[in-house]
A and B are shown apart, each in its own frame.
Chain A
Amino acid sequence: MRDAIVAIVSGTLFGGGLAFSGMMDPKRVRGFLDIFGEWDPTLAFVMGGAVIVMAIAWALQRRMAAPLFAEAFNLPGTSLIDSKLIGGGVLFGVGWGLAGLCPGPAIAALVIEPASAGIFALSMVGGMVLFRLTGK
């Protein structure tokens, strides 16, 4: 039950942050990647704000034996650097640059711009299906 409350509050804060920061605007996000054109540095401020808060959270996490509302921390590894990590990053960057959308803003924008965001989000899930069927 408590993990359900954490999930919806965290999701709401995350969606609100994306909306408030201008990151639900694909043209602005694309502008951050357009370093040879009319560069828009806003995304760097968003990333900076989020990383500063999370750096403090990680410092606290290292002093905690367990999370507040769960039995144990369940965290991904940090060291594996392989061809899938690099290849996946290259691909993600290509799609991000083409459409100006990464997964969070694409989902949150479903309530503002349902047609365009819907086409992108459905295609994105299609890409995930493709990975499940062919990848691993």
Chain B
Amino acid sequence: MLPGFPDAMPVEGFFGGFMIGLAATLMLLGSGRIVGISGLVARATMQSRSGVSLPVAWLFVGGLLLGAILVNSFIGPIQTRFPSSTALLIAGGLIVGLGVRMGSGCTSGHGVCGMSRLSPRSLIATATFITSGMATVAIANQLGWGW
């Protein structure tokens, strides 16, 4: 419980973040690569030629699903409050897909792996997408697209 933020989950967040950090550590020290989910998804769907082999990309993506299933089955139901608007899901998905490829990374590659490496490129990218995301939510709320 965080004073002033009744809905926040600081303890679960930090522990889940710790697991994400361990996942990225294993990939870095084990296979010598960073975990960039946008790159791995692009590779798994054959939208990218560089990076890991196809089976490795598929196994990683399959692991993401398996991790969610395990937590949902053994720890408790995962809360997933999605927007009800199909238009928002389609527009959001298209723009995210285009943006992460153009910017060579997302919250995992630039955010987790790049920031912890103090990579100037990733620090700039992360600051850009967080600022853009905050501005988007503020504008969407004004336009009545909030949910």
Contacts and interface: CB of A to CB of B under 8 A. Distances in A.
Interface string A27-59: 110110111111111111111111111111110
Report the contact-size class of chain B (Cβ under 8 Å from the partner).
35 or more
Contacts of B21: 17, 49-54, 57
A80 B121 contact: yes
A27 B5 contact: no
Given A4-B56, A22-B12, A97-B132, A125 B79 contact: no
B63 A98 contact: no
Contacts of B47: 125, 128-129, 131-132
Contacts, number: 512
Interface string B75-109: 10011111100101111111111111111101111
Given A10-B24, A64-B29, A103 B96 contact: yes
Contacts of A10: 23-24, 26-27, 30, 35, 60, 63
A54 B116 contact: yes
B13 to A, nearest CB: 3
Q: Is the interface of B mostly helix, strand, loop or mixed?
A: helix
B133 A49 contact: no
Contacts of A89: 99, 103, 110, 124-126, 128-129, 132
A101 B92 contact: yes
Nearest to A126: B94
A67 B132 contact: no
Contact of A26 (B18, B19, B81): B81
Nearest to A54: B116
Contacts of B61: 11, 107
Contact of B29 (A18, A57, A107): A57
A52 B145 CA distance: 35
Contacts of A57: 21, 24-25, 28-29, 116
